Amino acid sequence: MIFLKAALYLRVSTEEQASGGHSIQAQQQELIKYCSAFDYDIYNFYIDAGYSASTMNRPALKKLLGDCKKYDIALVWRLDRLSRDMADLMKIIEIFTTYNIIFKSKTESFDTSTASGKLMLNMLGSFAEFERASISERIQLAHKKILNEGKWRGGRPPLGYELTQDKTLKINKNEAQIIRKIFDLSANKNIGTRSIAIHLNNLGYLTRNKKAFSSSSIVRILKNPTYYGEMVHKRQQYIKKDGKKKVVYSDNYTTYKGLYEPIISKEIFLKSEININRRKLNRGTSSKIPNLLSGLIFCGDCKEYMLRNTRKDGEVFFTCKSYKHYGKCTHHYISENIIMKEIQRSIQNLEESESTVYEMNKKLIKKKDHKLYIIENEISTIQESIHSISKRKDKLFELIEKEIITEKDFIERKKKLSKKNEEKNKLLKELQSKLDNIQNYQENKDFIPYIKSFTKDFHTLSFNSKKKILNIIIERIEIFHNDRPYGRKKIHIYYKI
């Protein structure tokens, strides 16, 4: 007799929900009984604890969809455990349909293989989405009520404040000194956010997370009305893109008078805002032109990425990320045109010495063959270990079905095995990635055609073709600081040959 394999998906969104009738343990118990009643083999549990159903960006859900070839049935306790968003639900069902997977809910009756079943699923999905919208509205009303009372609506208070027992804000004297210094430098001395971050870091100040200040963290402080006594509502908004939530800051937000002592005056806040807006008019912007060198160009001194920007006159240039965000390292300012000219000159030299390139290839391939042998052995050992863990999991399911172990023991042992399995799979993925890189290298070992294509046709090629050639030829480009004033930066190009 052939038993169908069932993948069990469980989810809770909050600790309050987990403590009630929808807890992970309660869902798990019900689904195990359901599988036993219908003679389903439990393939695996996919658990998202503390994740909202309004997005598809959930680790266990991603794994569930990634393992579609390994099971026959996807089982949930209730439909809203899978998704509360109608568009996301339809995407998930479409993936299940592609792999001929039956989708079932323990508490709701529908069959996705029939037209009436799909209609029922659509209706249930719409109700789940409506319920999510209703919950969101109730939360917003509760937030407004709290804010109208002058209390903090929830979450961690901003730097400079701490929360009292009656949910009002209280000044933290040590942190408030930092806030006053930031606004003084911005409003009274007209200093930019990057320079303020550098100044604070040089004085040894740290953020609440014990990290160095950055330009972006200073901007968030300078734009926060909480510091002059008004609390913000609906400034942070969420937009969905490719199933993921992204935070955006809106200029259309509401403020509420708080029952707490402000750290600065509103006049200082507005003065700082005027200075920030003036500086915006005088600076360049991030370049909107597609970046040929993305992922290739680094600071040679601190090894951080180089950031790409555009001057007002249209010149595209790179600067060190550490310098721009944290004031560390030096700016390493260099024009994109200079880098591209150096790449062309360097690659032309390579083309003129084909024999050198072939010799370099031969030595490197021999070295990589040895690495290939070592990594393949490591992968084989880890795969055996993963297979052993899988067998132990199967044994565990037998023990729970025969009631030899308690549900508590089952969950604890399953958790330990899952953790081990996750660690082994992570290591396996890393080794597989290394193996792929070596194999790809051996497949592309003849670089001469690409080098010739670069020197002969580069200016006539499309952006994607240019980028492909650069990524095949170049490993990384490093820009080094020159101690001489106005001296030309040193450019080191490392090739994949």
The residue to which tokens 């030899």 are assigned: 404
Please report where in the chains the tokens 């249930």 appear, as a residue: 124
Residue 233 and residue 255 in contact, taking contact as beta carbons nearer than 8 Å: yes
**HEC states along 352-379?**
CCHHHHHHHHHHHHHHHHHHHHHHHHHH
CA distance 367 to 89: 49
CATH architecture of the domain 161-281 equals Alpha-Beta Complex (3.90)
> Which one-letter DSSP state was computed for residue 447?
-
Helix (H) or strand (E) holding 480: strand 474-480
Closest CA to 276 of 346, 355, 187, 205: 187
Q: Beginning with the edge strand found earlier in the chain, give each strand of the sheet holding 306-310 in spatial order.
A: 285-286, 306-310, 316-320, 334-335
pLDDT of residue 497: 61
Question: Per-residue DSSP letters for 50-78?
Answer: T--TT-S--HHHHHHHHTGGG-SEEEESS
Cα distance between residue 298 and residue 306, in whole Å:
5
Residues 414, 393 contacting (CB under 8 angstroms)? yes
Residues 6 or more apart whose CB falls under 8 angstroms from that of 106 comprise: 30, 31, 34, 75, 76, 77, 78
CA gap 450, 466 in Å, rounded:
10
pTM for the complete prediction?
A: 0.46
Mean pLDDT, the chain cut into blocks of 10 residues (497 residues total): 82 59 80 86 88 82 91 88 78 84 81 62 65 65 68 80 84 90 90 86 87 86 86 65 60 74 90 84 59 85 84 81 78 84 80 64 66 80 82 75 72 80 82 71 55 70 80 83 66 79
Nearest to residue 53, comparing CAs of 151, 131, 149, 164?
Answer: 131
pLDDT at 181: 93
Judged by DSSP in three states, 246 sits in strand
Active site positions, annotated: 13
Question: Measured between alpha carbons, how far is 447 from 471 in angstroms, rounded to an integer?
Answer: 11
C-beta of residue 227 within 8 angstroms of C-beta of residue 183: yes
Beta bridge partners of 425: none
With tokens 């032109």, the residue in question is 289
User: What is the predicted pLDDT for the residue at 46?
Assistant: 92
Distances (CA, A) of 288 to 23, 284, 294, 337, 480: 47, 12, 13, 16, 25
Which CATH superfamily hosts domain 5-136? Resolvase, N-terminal catalytic domain (3.40.50.1390)
Residue at 358: amino acid letter: Y
User: What pLDDT does residue 245 have?
Assistant: 58
Q: Which pLDDT score is estimated for 14?
A: 60
* SS3 label, residue 237: strand
Is the fold of 5-136 the same as that of 161-281?
no
- The answer to whether 284 and 310 have CB atoms below 8 angstroms apart is yes
Dist CA 319 CA 11 (whole Å): 44
Residue 177 CB partners (closer than 8 Å, separation 6+) = none
What is the residue extent of each domain of the chain? 5-136, 161-281, 284-497
Which residue carries 């290839």 as its tokens?
361
pLDDT for 446 equals 55
